[in-house]
A and B are shown apart, each in its own frame.
Chain A
Amino acid sequence: MAARSQDAMASPPRRTGGGVDFSALLSRFDRLGVIVALIVAAGSLALPFVTFKANRIAPGQPLGISEALAFPEGPVFQAVILAGALVALIRLPSSLRLAAGLLLIAALGLMLGVAATGLMPEGSRVARVSPAAGFWLLVFAFALVAADALARMQLGPMTRLGLLALVALGLGLMLWSGLWDDVSILREYANRGAAFRSEAQTHFALAFGSLGAATLIGVPLGILSYRNRALRTGVLNSLNVVQTIPSIALFGLLIAPLSWVAANIPGASALGVSGIGFAPAMLALFGYSLLPIVANTVAGLEATPEPVRQAARGMGMTRRQILTKVELPLALPVIIAGIRIVLVQNIGLATIAALIGGGGFGVFVFQGIGQTAMDLVLLGAVPTVALAMAAAIVLDAVVDLASPGQARPR
């Protein structure tokens, strides 16, 4: 009897009107959205949106959104951000959340451009308006919304590639329109246009060149290791050792042997081999690239189901035919996944090459650190990050396209 009355007290009868059902209200909120809303609140209210500096190395003056933007742009953008946070907070269809996330990122880009143009003193060439913590946090928050929506939508590879092209087009339009010309990073770019283009080329050459060489050598090496167990143990163990050497140490370790090669092997220095510069950077990146490619090639080939291999042999396929018609096609997604790991890794690692004179976007990063000019660091870092993300998206799509046994679109 006593227990029953306690039960009744513990769960009061459902209120029929006027009251608020909190659990129902909570269920209308998106869990990630709550976090996003908190980040947006911090980014837009507590942290500076841009930093204004009288010159590129002077201490900056942090400005919030209301200080950085005049009336009426300021309140309008505030309202747009608030609307974006609400869309993130409430449970809505993923496609809507994706669109909102991308639109908000575009709006932030627009906002940054408008703020920079407005703050820049007339005719000044030395003043700098840099994006500050608030801007980056807001971009991060809405990128989170977009990425989460993308993951939930499980779009096909072609749609994902299309979206990437759309984002790249939007970014290109923003750059081409001159909207961002007064933003600090592009001020740095304006002073170093030619250098930027040539370092970009070097960066591409380092990342893709080492990947290409590693693929050309790693895949056959993987095939040989798959067939020969003794070779496999040796190869994978040595490559594991290479992988554990810190990148800066590896660059340093290569100076002595490559200097010797350049000095003592006729024709080597004419081919560009030297202790510092492009050659050791390339060689180090190549070394780091081999393990993921060889290991994934072996793992992919090993994953061929035994009945499939038996059937192939039993039907009279030669060893070469089994490899080219059965094992390699089945292993392809795993091999491409290895290539994806390597490419994303190398785009990042190639920045370190600048330390030994190898060039690439790292040049701006290290110059910037030396001059305490953060805008210059960003000129090197932002393209590196964007490139790595784009490479990851493209190769993920390729993995999906190469996966066997997928239902074909009818």
Chain B
Amino acid sequence: MIEIDALTRVYGTTAVVDNVSLTVPRGEICVVVGTSGSGKTTLLRMINRLVEPSSGSVRIGGEDTRGFVAYQLRRRIGYVIQGNGLFPHHTVGQNIATVPSLLNWDKARIRARVDELLTLFQLDPEDYRDRMPRQLSGGQQQRIGVARALAAEPEILLMDEPFGALDPVIRSKAQADLLAIQRRFGTTIMLVTHDMTEAMALGTRIAVMDAGKLLQYAPPAEIISRPATVFVDALIGSGDRPFRMLALQKVRDHVEPGAAAGLPIDEEASLREAYAECLWSGRDAVPVVRDGALVGRITLARLTALAARPQ
């Protein structure tokens, strides 16, 4: 759990972060969205004290971060940045082992953890452990960056535009991987992005920032249906609202009995994909499958109703 209380950072006479308070419950993903210069990165960097707050406090698991030596605090918190920042002179294995080595884990434990993480990120340890970062693709480097941040089993993970350098196809794969890993370890994540679509895809809660102030902090559906300010509304994009709403839910939860013609859709797909399929193929309903077996259908009428603003 991360508790941020009246956090402020002043440079000169400008408050880059202005009296921000929010709580990220344990095991949730808080995505901070804002334009550049909104203070979102500074807010993130005050949590592991890469930037010292001018006033206010941060508590992690109930403990005030000011009670720690800064570098020791950072060793307990995972940190991922855009462009991954892998050490070019260390192997993949040594990169992942960075924080465990700083914490003086024994060799066998470090090695086991490196292999476990590589396997988890679908990279064969035998093949990848001794490679140098430059021998990896951009997507693989990014995965190693996340693996390195998770190496010492941190309770919280801070991510600053972690997928910003990836192309769209690799990015959505990386986002799916992150969600899978977050579910597995139950890590509390705070992630900064300027991309509202990414925020909707990842966040259990979204914090919208502008000019140092926290404008709204709420689950995605609420951000879409009840934007707190004109700025939040503009960030969502009025033309995208119904589609963003549909993108938040899965077909699984809205299957109804009955038959439909044509190609089926998997129940794990989002409502947005189902809606697009209806429109594109000109059908009023699409059959739904689970593990390849037919379980029912989803209708265009139902999808249209779900896309409307909640009352």
Give residues in A with beta carbon < 8 Å to B.
305, 307-318, 321, 326, 329-330, 404-408
Contacts and interface: CB of A to CB of B under 8 A. Distances in A.
A404 B86 contact: no
A314 B87 CA distance: 13
Contacts of B262: none
Given A314-B50, A316-B71, A321-B102, A308 B87 contact: yes
B74 A307 contact: no
A307 B85 contact: yes
B79 A311 contact: yes
Q: Ordered nearest first, which 10 A-B pairs have the shortest CB separation?
A: A404-B89, A311-B85, A316-B75, A316-B74, A314-B79, A307-B85, A405-B88, A307-B83, A316-B71, A308-B85
Given A307-B83, A316-B74, A408 B132 contact: yes
B79 A315 contact: yes
Given A311-B79, A330-B89, A405-B132, A316 B102 contact: yes
Given A313-B50, A326-B87, A307 B71 contact: no
Q: Which of B89, B99, B135, B158 has the most CB of A within 10 A?
A: B89
B72 interface: yes
Nearest to A307: B85
Contacts of B134: 405
A145 to B, nearest CB: 35
B93 interface: no
A315 B146 CA distance: 12
A23 to B, nearest CB: 42
Contact of B89 (A310, A317, A405, A407): A405
Among A311, A313, A317, A329, residue most surrounded by chain B Cβ atoms (within 10 Å): A311
Given A311-B87, A312-B85, A313-B74, 8 more contacts: A308-B86, A312-B87, A314-B50, A314-B74, A315-B99, A404-B88, A405-B133, A408-B130
Contacts of B82: 307
Contacts of B85: 305, 307-312, 314
B48 interface: yes
Contacts of B148: 315
A310 B88 contact: no
B289 interface: no
B19 interface: no
B102 A329 contact: no
Nearest to B48: A314
B23 to A, nearest CB: 23
B88 A311 contact: no
Number of contact residues on B: which range applies?
20 to 34
A314 B88 contact: no
B132 A407 contact: yes
A89 B75 CA distance: 64
Nearest to B165: A307
A330 B88 contact: yes
A315 B72 CA distance: 9
A307 B81 contact: yes
B98 interface: yes
Contacts of A329: 89
B132 to A, nearest CB: 5
B144 to A, nearest CB: 11
A388 B54 CA distance: 58
6 contacts: A311-B86, A311-B145, A312-B85, A315-B74, A315-B79, A316-B75
A275 to B, nearest CB: 47
Contacts of B88: 305, 308, 330, 404-405
A191 B102 CA distance: 63
Interface in B276-293: none
Nearest to A332: B89
A319 to B, nearest CB: 9
B132 A406 contact: yes
A407 to B, nearest CB: 6
Contact of A307 (B50, B84, B149): B84
Interface in B110-147: 130, 132-135, 145
B55 to A, nearest CB: 23
A305 B135 CA distance: 18
A405 B87 CA distance: 9
Nearest to B84: A307
Interface in B43-69: 48, 50
Contacts of A326: 87
Q: Which of A308, A309, A314, A326 has the most CB of B within 10 A?
A: A314
A317 B71 contact: yes
